[in-house]
Amino acid sequence: MLQRRELSFYDNMKILALHLDNFTDYARLRGMPYETTELRITIDEEDFYAIIEKITAYEKDELLGIRVGNLRNLNTLGAIYRISLKAVTIQEALYFCQAYLQETLPLIQVVNSMDGDSATIRLSIDNDKDQSNRIILETILMVVAREIKIVSGEDTEMTIYSPYFKTGYPSDWRKGESFMVKFQLTLLKAALKDNSHWGLDILIPEYLGLIEELKTPENFSSRIKKAMLGMAKPQLPGLETVAYAFNQTSRTLQRRLEEEGTNFRQIAEELKRRICNLLIRHNRYAITDLAYLLGYADSAAFIHSFKKWYGCSPKRFREQRGVS
């Protein structure tokens, strides 16, 4: 059994415990039993590796780092979110990313570089724990790449490299001599000029509030809900994406949900309604914005769902509650 105990830490190697939570949360979502007791804000290198090694042995999955990274956003830890609020140049944006990792996960060395219209973030760990390092670094690469796309847009050209690349990796990964992500700067430059439209100052705490709310007695459905909220960017992930994160087929995932009297569509609908219930109360979001943030193809589809949830149009809902 994996045990979360009160972990000690060395003065020269403090790791933010939230980084370990990425792995323990994934293990719990996958059904690995563990005991929860008091956990400090920081942990030491030895304990960090010991728990990752236990999870790795339990999962027996070469793509563990990819799946863990796919479930977690750095913005839930406050890193790239700060970039979207404060950075005005590419250099500053990359510095925030580097500084955050160095402060909270000092195992990792981060080297940023720019060449013309492209940028590279290169990660490494200087010890001999190759298997665990692969999991850690691929997790962080996955998270960083997702956050860059959140800030700059899904159309940003990006390639992620790993020395362990093989069949089964996501389509934007390639074989490389080191762990790194390369991306085009054009869209990121434009996003840094005016990124307020993302509204992450509202979305992030709301999402985290929902995650806390979902700390109900464990079953497979609740684990799916938590995973979907963790993967939201801000649109909720689809069935195939969630199934991939759980290392299951879509059919198997649906079957397990049906055993608990629900299905993926019902869960997605419930989460969209709960997120909408928070966002509809903020007048900065137009109906078209809400439709986009909730993953609807157009405003008409969103309004149709909204009327089913609340019995009135979004405009009427806001009028009744003094939101204009």
pLDDT per position as a tens digit, 142-165: 988 887 776 666 677 889 999 999
Q: What is the pLDDT of residue 4?
A: 38
Same domain as 95, residue 9: no
Report yes or no on 123 lying in a domain. yes
Residues 161 and 242 in one domain: no
- The C-alpha atoms of residue 250 and residue 213 are separated, in whole angstroms, by 26
Tell me whether residue 66 is in a domain: no
**Does residue 38 lie in a domain region?**
yes
201 in the same domain as 183: no
Q: Decide: pTM greater than 0.75.
A: no
Q: How many domains does the chain have?
A: 3
Are both 27 and 120 inside the same structural domain? no
**Dihedral sign, Cα of residue 147, residue 150, residue 153, residue 154:** positive
Instruction: Categorize the per-residue pLDDT at 324 as very low, low, confident or very high, splitting at 50, 70 and 90.
Output: low
Cβ atoms within 10 Å of 227's Cβ, excluding its own: 22
- Cα first-last separation, the chain: 53
As given in the structure block, the two tokens for residue 121 are 């973030």
pLDDT, tens digit, 9 for 90 and up, residues 297-308: 899 999 999 999
Tokens encoding 75: 């913005």
pLDDT exceeds 50 at position 83: no
Q: Domain range holding 131?
A: 74-193
Residues 234-240 have a mean pLDDT of 87
The pLDDT of residue 75 is above 70: no
In whole angstroms, what separates CA 230 from the centre of its chain? 5
Q: Which residue has the higher pLDDT, 112 or 3?
A: 112
Tell which wins on pLDDT, 57 or 280.
Answer: 57
Q: What is the pLDDT of residues 16-42, one digit of tens each?
A: 777 888 888 888 888 887 655 445 567
- Residues 260, 180: one domain? no
Residue 87 maps to a domain:
yes
5: confidence class by pLDDT, cuts 50, 70, 90? very low
Q: Are residues 164 and 88 in the same domain?
A: yes
Helix or strand holding residue 271 (H, E) = helix 264-279
**Residue 321 reports pLDDT greater than 80:** no
Examine the pLDDT at 265 and tell me if it is beyond 60: yes
Query: Domain for residue 141, yes or no?
Result: yes
User: Do 208 and 132 fall within a single domain?
Assistant: no
Decide which of 142, 166, 193 is a domain's last residue: 193
pLDDT in tens, 177-227: 999 999 887 656 555 555 444 454 345 445 545 554 545 556 898 888 888
Compute the distance between CA of residue 244 and CA of residue 251 in angstroms, rounded to an integer: 11
Structure tokens at 21: 């939570």
- Determine how many CB atoms are found less than 10 A away from the CB of residue 122: 17
Residues 212 and 260 both lie in one domain: yes
157 domain residue, yes or no: yes
| Domain match, 171 and 239 both | no
Q: Report d(CA 241, CA 246) in Å as an integer.
A: 9
Final residue in a domain of this structure, among 141, 165, 193: 193
77: confidence class by pLDDT, cuts 50, 70, 90? very low
If asked whether residues 40 and 79 sit together in one domain, one would say: no
DSSP states along 147-176: HHHHHH-TT--EEEEETT--TTS-TTEEE-
- How far, CA to CA in Å, does 314 sit from each of 200, 296, 302, 311? 21, 14, 9, 10
Within a domain: 65: no
Cα–Cα dist 239/4, whole Å = 30
10 SS3 class? strand
pLDDT at 205: 41
Query: CB within 8 A of 222, min separation 6: which ones?
Result: 214, 216
Residue 306's CATH number: 1.10.10.60
Examine the domain organization and report whether 78 and 188 are in the same domain: yes
Specify the pLDDT at position 167.
92
User: Are 145 and 230 contained in the same domain?
Assistant: no
Map residue 62 onto helix, strand or coil: coil
| 67 assigned to some structural domain | no
Between CA 280 and CA 264 the distance in angstroms is: 24
